[in-house]
Amino acid sequence: MAKTWDGVIDDGGFSEDDEQAYNKGMEIIREGLGRGLGFDEACTAVPDDDPELKRLIIDDFLKVTIAHLHFEKEMSAEALATKLGLSVERVLKARQEMIDDVRDRSVEYAREKYGDLEEAFKKSTGSGEGPEGHA
């Protein structure tokens, strides 16, 4: 098994060719933005041999950019939208998709690891009750 771009073990979701195309697409967008293009304009240079892969590249690049500039660097959604030449609504939608992805993957992981989450919670707390007070 190969590792993905982020170091996670790949379970076969990407072929080596797709991974190379993915990395190249990310670089194309990065270079376009570096030359002063807007986000959508920079994305037009990503080859569209595989429309699904292109969509994934564009979605991932936007989400990585939001993670870095909005969450890490605390740039407002409005400022980020302006910087990328996008609508605030598009940035907010992508941000919500990120939050939903993390939530869904967290629940999926917990279910894989612990099974029935309600039962796991009861076992860990000794009851079915949540903590009192500060939640």
Nearest one of 36, 41, 33, 110 to 64, comparing CA atoms: 33
Express each pLDDT in 34-46 by its tens digit: 999 999 999 999 9
Q: Distance from CA of residue 76 to its chain's centroid?
A: 18
Q: How far is it, in rounded angstroms, from Cα 119 to Cα 80?
A: 42
| DSSP secondary structure letter of residue 66 | I
**What is the value of pTM for the model shown?**
0.72
Evaluate if residue 76 carries a pLDDT over 80.
yes
Percentage of the chain modeled with pLDDT above 70: 81
